[in-house]
Amino acid sequence: MTEPSVYDMTYCALDFETTGLNPHWAEVVEVGAVRFNLLDDCRTTFTQLVRPKGKIPKAATEVHGITNEMVENMPSIDQVMPTLEAFIGNAVVVAHNAKHDLRFVGEDVRKNKAVDTLRLSRNNIAASSHRLSSLVKSPTYHRALPDALSCMELFKKCIRILERKRDRTLIYLWEITE
């Protein structure tokens, strides 16, 4: 059996806002995800503020705008994760700097195929910066759902570039994940 083309797959673009960048102590404060495919504009979204165990540092709030007051009555990541993981299901995970975002999900989701749009854009888009905000125009940055939607748009943009390079021949997932 041959592997399906990228057009036959369901994707889930994913983004987390956190209390910092250090993987040893950063906690999730917001989750955003969008399930989509490449054949139509149908999409389903998931977004949730998350109460971390500790306080959100002022420097993190300056980046994403999420305050301790905004999350004080929100569910914990342990309460949110089962719903998020059910939402993702067996979809191909799409994330900008996927290694960072995938460390927050459970083992079952980490088994899914994943596409890193940072790597994909570096290989297919000539740009001085490969920051998500430099590659996709959005009214909001550093909030989980708008960033997940931007990641989806960047993925679609890269697929269109690959289509032009390949003269519309089928593109297979293994070609963009290796």
CATH number for 141: 3.30.420.10
When divided into structural domains, the chain yields a total of 1
Is residue 81 included in any domain, yes or no?
yes
The answer to whether position 150 is within a domain reads yes
Dihedral angle computed from the Cα positions of residues 139, 94, 44 and 66, in that order, rounded to the nearest 10 degrees: -50
Q: Is residue 1 assigned to a domain?
A: no
Residues 42-71: tens digit of each pLDDT: 899 999 999 999 999 999 999 999 999 999
Packing angle of the helix pair 117-124, 144-165 (nearest 10 deg): 40
What is the average pLDDT across 150-173? 84
Residue 82 lies in a domain: yes
Q: What's the pTM?
A: 0.91
- Do the Cβ atoms of 177 and 12 come closer than 8 Å? no
Note whether residue 102 is domain-resident.
yes
Whose CA is closest to 78, among 48, 35, 98?
48
pLDDT band at 85 (very low <50, low <70, confident <90, very high): very high
Instruction: Say how far apart CA 101 and CA 83 lie, in whole Å.
Output: 17
Domain that holds residue 55: 6-177
Residue 156 lies in a domain: yes
Within a domain: 162 = yes
Amino acid 144: pLDDT: 95
Q: Is 70 exceeded by the pLDDT of residue 129? A: yes
